[in-house]
Structure 1
Amino acid sequence: MLSVSATPLPSVSEPVAPAPPAAVQDAPRAERRPTLSHRLEYAALRGAIGGLATLPWRQATAVGAWLGRMGYAPAGIRRGVVERQVAAAFPELTPARVREIARASYESLGRTTVEAAIMPGLGKQGVLELFEQVDGWELLEAARAEGRGAIVVTGHLGNWELGGSYVAARGVPIDGVARQQGNPLFDRFLTSTRERLGMDVVWDGHAVRRTPRSLRENRVVAMVSDQGALGLASTYVPFFGRPAKTPRGPAVFALRLRVPILFAVAVRLPNGRFRLAFERVPVVDTGDRERDVDTIVATYTRMLEEWVRRYPEQYFWQHRRWKHQPADTPPHLREP
């Protein structure tokens, strides 16, 4: 696969409903009036981001790692959830190693949060320079050369926001399917930071309507594959041997519209820079739509698992990945 080098680091099982005609416009996001609590929370956030943005990149992300560690201890935010999930995914590990990975995952989440917040200040060139290695870029180019657009699935590993921003910075038209945040002020801020780097943001509630149109325009549509999405159906596939509820929308779109799927991940390297990797997800249409969809979903979930096994400390273990399971799940495979 192609490897692209950068310059030194600078100082972020039910079918989907049919899509309506292209002439139908997206419904606007529900405008929510910010509460006083929202305003205070947002003011504190913007103040913190403003202060971090004045620091060199490495120092700012180090602050993020420190904040993450505080979330693990002494705050203990979801610490039990994280340690139980890590232990379930890696039963061969000692308790000490489980705690080490858990603590590191909080540091990674802190870094990712700060990176995403200050990333727009780098500009497109600065984003490109954060990457030391890019593997499989030719796969994305080949997919778009087919003229039907491309779907990119990823997971909450490394810095998923930065991966999408890299694609946009390379001049590729990309839509990122995202959840609406609870704080409307922060939601607008997050959307604007993504858009400043060239990514169009699609609320997950609009994905069924918007995705076919974007693909017809030969755009890339990026979706996270390890959390539920509003308006997109899910199925249960193995993730570290346990059934996990996983969005099936990317697979349905790929089969229905004959669109290629790529799995992508942006992981942080020891020197603080990043590696972005693309892999083609096989799409086989046997005529059994339900089985074919489940096969594709299981494939990109397995790809994510393989990368999480390589970089377990960079996964978002704070999310209860096995919270929703089939009713007939055996007790030993239920949520840990």
Structure 2
Amino acid sequence: MKHSAKHISEYVLLVLAGGLVRILPLRVALALGWLVAAGMHYIGGFRKEEAHRRLKSVYGDRFLEQEIKRIAWLSWRNLCFNAVEGIRFSKMTIEDVKKQPLADVIPALLQALENEEQGYIFATVHMGNWEMAGVSADLAGIPIFSIARRQKNPLTDAYLNRARNAFDMEMISNDSKVLKGIIRRIRAGKVLAILPDVRNSTEALKINFLNSEANLGAGTALFARQCNCPIYPAVVRRVGWTKHDAVIFDPIRPDASLDKTDDWQRMMQQMMDIFTEEIGKTPEQYFWYNKRWVLQPLKKRK
């Protein structure tokens, strides 16, 4: 299979940057990430104005202009820090996890696995280093799995999959068989890690999120009802440069007495209400730059 020059150049750049980031001390690697973030944000202006617009749309006049700019910068810097840490995930050990504040939630996740007759769903949003929670849970012995979206560049997609395979955490492809695969794994006692704050491209559930209406897929709630398992909402926050904390909330359980669509709506709304409140406490921790913006309305069909 032949690859385009663009795909090859992206792959080579990723491999070179990845090699450098892995051999540098963590703080030095993050400092490099900070420089890249600052260049793209302050010089390149990458999606900066759009992030400002989104923040103002969600929070109105709650924040002054300077506060909006600070929140947007920290959000972008956090993403670049996440990328640095993601490249270095293969270096992480359970001892590293124990040094993190988020280690405090691991016993609760393990206990939940013992309490349930099968697995459950661990739902979080694009906040802090959201992948850190999954990697930490995996290293702590929780049989966790997630859904991987294929990258447009097959070379970088393969590179990222190799990095993910450094752990026992299973990544399943988002294809036509994904539903059956998810249900089978949960019923076998595994934990699905999922990010529900993603806009659906077709008509779906209308959910109040971030003080507006979002078109969200019912996937998280559908899996919970299909498997009769709970959803454990959680948020992850970065603390300084190198630390990460997490909060896990009471489980949201399906209600068999309700119509399935009503139950999906109830569970999704209850979950997103929690996330809206938590994002509002530290908006700089949320990712405001997603190209597929969660609150973007669907285009009306002609």
TM-score after normalising by structure 2: 0.90
> Does the CA-based 8 Å contact 2:71-2:283 persist in structure 1?
yes
| DSSP-derived class of the 2:135 partner | helix
- What amino acid is aligned across from residue 323 of structure 1 in structure 2? Q
How far, CA to CA, are the matches of 2:232 and 2:245 in structure 1? 16
Match of 2:190 in 1: 219
Q: CA deviation at 1:138?
A: 4.2
Structural mapping, 1:234-253, within 5 Å: 234-253=204-223
Which residue pairs with 2:261 in the alignment? 290
2:161 counterpart residue number = 191
**Aligned 1:23-34 pairs, distance under 5 A:** 34=3
Give, in whole Å, the separation in 1 of the partners of 2:195 and 2:144.
14
2:122–2:193 contact (8 Å) kept in structure 1: yes
- 8 Å CA contact 2:199–2:214 kept in 1: the answer is no
Helix, strand or coil for the counterpart of 1:67? helix
**Cα offset, 1:134, TM superposition:** 3.6
- Tell me if the contact between 2:106 and 2:140 (Cα under 8 Å) persists in the aligned partners: no
Task: Provide closer, same or farther for how the CA distance between residues 165 and 58 of structure 1 changes in structure 2, counting only shifts above 3 A.
Answer: same
The counterpart of 2:228, out of the listed 253, 258, 277, is 258
Q: Which residue of 2 aligns with 1:67?
A: 36
Match of 1:161 among 119, 125, 131: 131
> Following the alignment from structure 1 to structure 2, what is the Cα–Cα distance between the partners of residues 179 and 95?
35
Q: What is the RMSD computed on CA atoms of the aligned residues?
A: 2.2
Instruction: Give the letter for the 2:207 counterpart.
Output: V
Contact 1:262 1:279 in 2 (8 A): yes
CA distance in 2, matches of 1:199, 1:305: 28
CA contact (8 A) 1:131 1:276 kept: no
Higher helix share: 2
Q: In structure 1, list runs of 5 or more residues that go unmatched.
A: 1-31, 328-336
Does the 8 Å contact 2:137/2:144 carry over to 1? yes
Q: Equivalent residue for 1:301?
A: 272
5+ residue gaps, structure 2, are none
Alignment partners' CA distance in 1, 2:99 and 2:167 = 14
| Whole-Å separation in 1 of the counterparts to 2:52 and 2:197 | 18
Asked whether 1:45 is paired with 2:18, we answer no
Distance of 1:70 and 1:270 partners within structure 2: 21
1:317 aligns with 2:288: yes
Identity %: 25
Separation (CA, whole Å) in 1 of partners of 2:96 and 2:86? 11
Contact preservation (8 Å) 2:34, 2:81:
yes
Cα pair 2:200 2:217 within 8 Å, conserved: yes
Compare 159-168 and 206-215 and name the one that shifted more.
206-215
- Say how many residue pairs are matched: 294
